[in-house]
Amino acid sequence: MDEQLLADLKARLRITWVEEDTDLTKNISRAKAYLSNLTGASFDFSKDEWPKEILLERCRYVYNNAADEFEVNFQSELARLILQVALGKVGVISGDETVS
């Protein structure tokens, strides 16, 4: 799945070279952690298209050194995502189990 997210992110950023793949993959991992921390849920980005769009946009902002502007510009989308998670419409709410 990460390969597809990487391909989608590269398409969004119009990147055709492979030299940045490692950094972009780390960016995707950090964006997943960001969304998980924000919502308390995990997502299947192969099925949940809307959270995937938010993930890709977060990555785009970070890539362009504008991470500080992301929450301001996506405030309503993030609030809606939190609500959709709370209603059980997207994502799987994380339990108290520890991940090792």
Which DSSP string corresponds to 60-76? Answer: HHHHTT-HHHHHHHTHH
Question: Count of H helices and E strands in the chain?
Answer: 5, 2
Residue 42 pLDDT level (bands cut at 50, 70, 90): very high
Here the contacts of 94-97 (C-beta below 8 Å, separation 24 or greater) are: 94/36, 94/40, 94/41, 94/42
* pLDDT computed for residue 97 by the predictor: 39
Instruction: Tell me: pLDDT of 98 over 60.
Output: no
The number of C-alpha atoms within 13 Å of 29 and in the hemisphere containing its C-beta is: 6
* pLDDT computed for residue 94 by the predictor: 73
Phi, psi (degrees; rounded to nearest 5) at 24: -65, -40
What pLDDT, in 10s, does the model give residues 60-87? 999 999 999 999 999 999 999 999 999 8
